[in-house]
């Protein structure tokens, strides 16, 4: 049998040695009447060769966006990473270890997590960061829960510019602990807090840049939080800090986000990793695992899991969160990738992504009068919202024409935003090439030309 | 193990060193049109490293870990089994790794086929017909299922049923998930036989009960022999039964939870279905529920339609607990594992896991105290004897001595119902010889403990660091290198 070393002879010898006649006898504690009667209805096993061929066949049914010109964004971006990341992540000493509960034989994992925490804290502009979360959406939910626990208030205000999945996740998480989620609308592409943020409010949350790629005003966010004595939370696109200021430096209290842009394959949406950064003073309210520096009995520097008394395995129903496993292996990719980028590399990624988005917006709006910037007064980063005068029907035709031309792109936002017929987004990264943009503009010109003719 | 200290990245950083580089970046051009208030002055202070130095840094760090690929790793309840290399090779293929989550269904039919078949296979394994692959890990699966329970109770006009019964031997995530789902936890006693105390259960059932969370086999490694009766009693009281599937590998292909009355359960794909633990994730925690609960499952489900596979939101969905469709790349590995093993191979997993655990239990019981010494499932709990404790030897010392003898220790101090617990799970992928060397080591340690050998208190002495001062890490917290 695959992956089982013992032979029938081994099994027989072991059974004899421990005084049993058959493996079935070992299942005696399971009452006979609830044991299955026959084999499961699952196909017979394949050899490794058959399996590889089967998987290759299924993979051929896919049309991966990342292997062709890709303008899809919406929280997951087609960034590049060095071969180093794949190689090191597949080292089995990282891959097949578990949570570093025994620090003496887990210093490798513990040290890289400490380095990861340090680099995430630097990008976030915060004092501390944890060892990672499941993803950006659940990190956002954990952040508002933490704020509600700190402030002992039962209301949070969340920008409508937060990724729709993240907003839905927050609603699901908060519903059962009876915290009210109020949504601050977007006006002309940016969050309008109005007078929603009051003294009942535990947290104010914005995404930077927001779901439409628009850069939000973090000073507004912190001012809103301050006047209500609430905590400010920013969901951050981490590579944007190559060019934009770190939210923590703007006074934001909690910085979370999805780390996919830091060396993680898009992978049909997961696993990515979430990150969580804040001030030292909130360390006891932090969800998730945390690594700290200490000394061993010989006085040598040593790393260990710390502040475990917050966590479910100690605190049970009184824990700060129910999170147990996080996304360590993916955070390791992020760790290696951040170190590989360095200050100059992350600046290059951020600048190129923004430069390409500028070129894209120029090219597309010049291609046809039927497509314009959705929010022409607003600054965007690497993702741009456009509006097609022909509405969603025109957007769909454009998307299909792009697909026919081998280009992946166009997220139609009206599936999440009722008042946005005809609005779609396109995103760029350092992998976007001028010829990709030219080709996209060409397809736009042809498609929207036909619109006019129609 | 690499014993030489590895400096932190930040300490090895030198101005101007580079690894990843891209051509054509122009800060001035990129800044055009951006609000100056949001621009930063200097790039983030990430380390500056050359490529080879980075490679050495992380390679050397990897050599400071125990891993399944280097050591026997009988960490109870975590199922540290062999992680098939072919699954890693498959996951690296661009046809999977480069799929964007918002691509149209028509462009990702292979991925949706994998998810659809995995849903069906997990339903077959558990006897619970409705499956969602959405949750990111076991704990999130628990939380999701409890939210499903809340939704079901609301539809039954029973929203005041707020109490969930949980045995005191359960994982900490069970009660923590209950709190997040808005339930109150009432603890159930473990009886002298290591099983749920039936009288205690009966006395706690009533109109306030929302349900019961049971781990089966439980964390002591015993099958809850009265499980069918437990489920019947909870149902009779108007509640539903959730099974923590952390230990499902012990009964896969032997018994189906749906057949013995379970309504909902999660599976840890990183345990039973062999996806790598990765130093602490990522996992995947699909949940399987009875047909009547399907409509509450989180978004989205994969369904088969006339023109192919599609994503669909169930009619009364509790919503979503994460972004996108689940940890697809973990699901992919679990799918490949099931394909490779087939029905027969999956049952062999349970048989060999249970045989290996009982082999260890019987070989060690003359040397260690095994408090519940009947036939165990995939794991068993031992503890030091009175005579060892009289020598001042604690479970922590045993764990550290095992590290010194080149084994990853079992899970220690869990479950909480056994003081000084040592919970060992060998898994089916270990050979008789490996088990024998572990038995030898444990017998040697037992002898050392009985004579109060100081090696037990000094261990480990051959690792990159010796015992770590955990109190200091809290008293004088250093959680980051000079950042922030």
pLDDT surpasses 90 at B483: no
List, in sequence order, every residue forming a beta bridge with B310; answer none if it has no partner. B303
Q: Is B110 in contact with A273 (Cβ distance < 8 A)?
A: no
| Interface confidence (ipTM) of the complex | 0.97
Q: Calculate the average pLDDT of chain B.
A: 97
Query: Residue A44: its chain B contacts at CB < 8 A?
Result: 342-344
Which residues in B lie closer than 8 A to residue A312 (C-beta atoms)? 139, 171-173, 175-176
Mean pLDDT (whole number) for B370-379: 96
Residues from chain A that touch B403, judged by Cβ atoms under 8 A, are 102, 104-105
Q: What is the reported pLDDT for A316?
A: 83
Q: Render pLDDT for A247-293 as a digit per residue (tens, 0 to 9).
A: 999 999 999 999 999 999 999 999 999 999 999 999 999 999 999 99
pLDDT of residue A450 exceeding 70: no
| pLDDT exceeds cutoff 90 at B358 | yes
- For the residues A339-346, what does the mean pLDDT come to? 98
For A291, the 3-state DSSP assignment is strand
Residues in B closer than 8 angstroms to A169, CB to CB, are 319-323
B40 CA to chain A: closest CA distance, Å? 4
Q: What is the pLDDT of residue B69?
A: 97
CA distance A69 to chain B (A): 12
Q: Which of A27, A87, A122 sits opposite B483 (nearest CB)?
A: A122
A318 falls in which pLDDT band (50, 70, 90)? confident
pLDDT, one tens digit per residue, over B5-62 is: 999 999 999 999 999 999 999 999 999 999 999 999 999 999 999 999 999 999 999 9
Q: How far does B451 lie from chain A, in Å, by closest CA?
A: 24
Residue of B nearest to A292 (CA): B479
Over range A370-396, report the average pLDDT: 97
pLDDT tens sequence across A53-78: 999 999 999 999 999 999 999 999 99
Cβ contact (<8 Å) for B468 and A104? yes
B432 contacts A327? CB cut-off 8 A: no
Residue-level pLDDT at A324: 79
Band (pLDDT 50/70/90 cuts) for residue A452 is low
Quote the percentage of chain B above a pLDDT of 70: 100
Mean pLDDT across the stretch A209-216? 98
Query: CA-nearest residue of chain B to A412?
Result: B102
Query: Could you give the CA distance from residue A43 to residue B333 in angstroms, rounded to a whole number?
Result: 17
Beta carbon pairs, A and B, within 8 Å: 709
Using the beta-carbon criterion (under 8 Å), do A269 and B328 form an inter-chain contact?
yes
Contact B253, A36 (CB under 8 A): yes
pLDDT of residue A309: 83
* Mean pLDDT in residue range A180-203: 97
Q: Nearest C-alpha of chain B: how many angstroms from A176? A: 5
- Cβ-Cβ contacts under 8 Å, A108 against chain B: 61-65
Q: Which of B375, B480, B482 to mutate to test the interface with A (most CBs of A within 10 A)?
A: B480
So what's the pLDDT on residue A451?
60
Query: Could you tell me what percent of chain A has a pLDDT over 90?
Result: 93
Reference A370, options A425, A436, A446; nearest CA is: A446
Residues of A with Cβ-Cβ distance to B172 under 8 angstroms: 311-316, 319, 324
Nearest by CB: A325 against B68, B137, B329? B137
> What is the band of A326 on the pLDDT scale with cuts at 50, 70, 90?
confident
What average pLDDT score do residues A320-340 get?
92
Which residues in B lie closer than 8 A to residue A311 (C-beta atoms)?
172
Distance of CA B361 to the CA centre of its chain: 23
- What pLDDT sits at residue B258? 98
Chain A nearest C-alpha distance from B309 (Å): 12
What is the per-residue pLDDT across B124-144, written as a single tens digit (0 to 9) for each?
999 999 999 999 999 999 999
Chain A: closest CA distance from residue B36 (Å): 9
Query: What is the average pLDDT across A228-239?
Result: 98
pLDDT bucket at B423, cuts 50 / 70 / 90: very high
pTM: 0.98
Q: Report pLDDT for A310.
A: 82
How sure is the predictor about B484, in pLDDT bands with cuts at 50, 70 and 90?
Answer: very low
């Amino acid at each position: 049998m695959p992956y089982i070393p013992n032979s029938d002879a081994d099994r027989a010898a072991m059974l004899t040695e421990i005084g049993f006649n058959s493996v079935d006898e070992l299942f005696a504690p399971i009452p006979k009447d609830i044991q299955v009667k026959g084999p499961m209805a699952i196909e017979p096993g394949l050899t490794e060769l058959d399996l590889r061929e089967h998987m290759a066949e299924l993979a051929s049914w896919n049309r991966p966006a990342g292997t062709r010109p890709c303008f899809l964004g919406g929280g997951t971006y087609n960034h590049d990473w060095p071969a180093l990341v794949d190689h090191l992540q597949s080292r089995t000493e990282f891959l097949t270890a578990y949570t570093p509960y025994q620090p003496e034989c887990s210093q490798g994992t513990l040290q890289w997590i400490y380095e990861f925490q340090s680099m995430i804290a630097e990008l976030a502009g915060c004092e501390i960061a944890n060892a990672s979360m499941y993803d950006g959406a659940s990190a956002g939910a954990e952040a508002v829960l933490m704020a509600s626990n700190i402030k002992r208030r039962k209301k949070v205000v969340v920008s409508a510019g937060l990724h729709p999945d993240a907003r839905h996740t927050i609603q699901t998480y908060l519903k059962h602990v009876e915290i009210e989620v109020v949504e601050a609308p977007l006006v002309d592409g940016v969050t309008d807090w109005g007078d929603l943020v009051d003294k009942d409010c535990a947290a104010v949350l914005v995404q930077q840049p927001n779901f439409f790629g628009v850069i939000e005003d973090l000073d507004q966010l912190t001012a809103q939080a301050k006047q209500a004595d609430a905590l400010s939370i920013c969901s951050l696109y981490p590579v944007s800090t190559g060019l934009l200021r770190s939210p923590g430096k703007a006074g934001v209290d909690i910085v979370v986000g999805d780390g996919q842009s830091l060396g993680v394959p898009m992978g049909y949406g997961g696993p990515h990793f979430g990150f969580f950064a804040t001030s030292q003073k909130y360390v006891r309210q932090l969800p998730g695992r945390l690594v700290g520096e200490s000394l061993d009995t010989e006085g040598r520097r040593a790393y260990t899991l710390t502040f475990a008394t917050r966590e479910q395995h100690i605190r049970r129903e009184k824990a700060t969160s129910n999170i147990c496993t996080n996304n360590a292996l993916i955070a390791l990719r992020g760790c290696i990738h951040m170190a590989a980028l360095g200050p100059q590399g992350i600046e290059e990624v951020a600048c190129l992504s923004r430069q390409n988005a500028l070129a894209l917006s120029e090219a597309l709006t010049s291609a046809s009068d039927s497509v314009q910037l959705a929010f022409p007064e607003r600054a965007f980063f690497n993702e741009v919202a456009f509006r097609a005068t022909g509405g969603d029907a025109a957007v769909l035709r454009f998307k299909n024409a792009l697909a026919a031309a081998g280009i992946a792109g166009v997220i139609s936002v009206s599936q999440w935003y009722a008042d946005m017929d005809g609005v779609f987004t396109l995103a760029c990264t350092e992998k976007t090439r001028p010829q990709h943009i030219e080709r996209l503009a060409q397809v736009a010109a042809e498609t929207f030309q036909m619109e006019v003719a129609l | 193990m690499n014993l030489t200290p590895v400096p932190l990245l930040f300490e090895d950083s030198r101005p101007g060193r580079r690894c990843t580089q891209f051509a054509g970046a122009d800060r001035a051009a990129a800044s055009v049109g951006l609000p100056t208030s949001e621009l930063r002055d200097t790039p983030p202070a990430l380390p500056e490293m050359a490529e080879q130095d980075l490679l050495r840094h992380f390679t050397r760090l990897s050599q400071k870990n125990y891993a399944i690929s280097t050591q026997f790793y009988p960490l109870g309840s975590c199922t540290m089994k062999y992680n098939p290399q072919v699954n890693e090779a498959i996951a690296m293929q661009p046809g999977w790794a480069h799929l964007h989550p918002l691509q149209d269904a028509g462009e990702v039919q292979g991925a949706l086929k994998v998810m659809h078949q995995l849903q069906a296979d997990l339903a077959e394994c558990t006897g619970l017909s409705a499956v969602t692959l959405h949750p990111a890990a076991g704990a999130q699966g628990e939380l999701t299922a409890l939210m499903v329970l809340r939704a079901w109770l609301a539809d039954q006009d029973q929203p005041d049923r707020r109490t969930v019964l949980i045995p005191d031997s359960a994982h900490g995530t069970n009660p923590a998930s209950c709190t997040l789902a808005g339930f109150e936890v009432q603890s159930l006693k473990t009886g002298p036989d290591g099983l749920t105390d039936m009288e205690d259960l009966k006395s706690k059932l009533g109109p306030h009960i929302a349900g019961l969370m049971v781990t089966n086999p439980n964390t002591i490694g015993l099958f809850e022999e009265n499980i069918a009766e437990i489920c019947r009693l909870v149902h009779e009281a108007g509640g539903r039964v959730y099974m923590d599937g952390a230990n499902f590998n012990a009964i896969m292909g032997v018994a189906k939870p749906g057949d013995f009355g379970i309504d909902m359960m999660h599976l840890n794909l990183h345990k039973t279905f062999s996806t790598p633990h990765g130093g602490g994730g990522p996992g995947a925690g699909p949940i399987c529920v009875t047909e009547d609960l399907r409509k509450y499952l989180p978004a989205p489900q994969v369904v088969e339609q006339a023109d192919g596979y599609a994503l669909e939101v169930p009619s009364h969905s509790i919503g979503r607990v994460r972004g996108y469709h689940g940890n697809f790349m973990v699901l992919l590995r679990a799918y490949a594992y099931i394909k490779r093993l087939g029905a027969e191979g999956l049952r062999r997993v349970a048989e060999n896991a249970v045989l290996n655990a009982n082999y260890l239990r019987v070989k060690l019981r003359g040397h260690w105290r095994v408090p519940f010494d009947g036939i165990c499932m995939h794991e068993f709990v031992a503890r030091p004897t009175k005579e060892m404790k009289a020598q001042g030897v604690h479970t922590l010392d045993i764990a550290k001595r095992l590290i010194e003898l080149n084994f990853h220790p079992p899970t220690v101090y869990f479950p909480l119902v056994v003081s000084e617990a040592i919970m060992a799970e060998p898994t089916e992928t270990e050979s008789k010889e490996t088990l024998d060397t572990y038995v030898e080591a444990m017998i040697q340690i037992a002898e050392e403990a009985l004579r109060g050998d100081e090696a037990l208190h000094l261990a480990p002495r051959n690792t990159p660091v010796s015992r770590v001062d955990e109190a200091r890490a809290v008293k004088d917290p250093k959680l980051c290198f000079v950042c922030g």
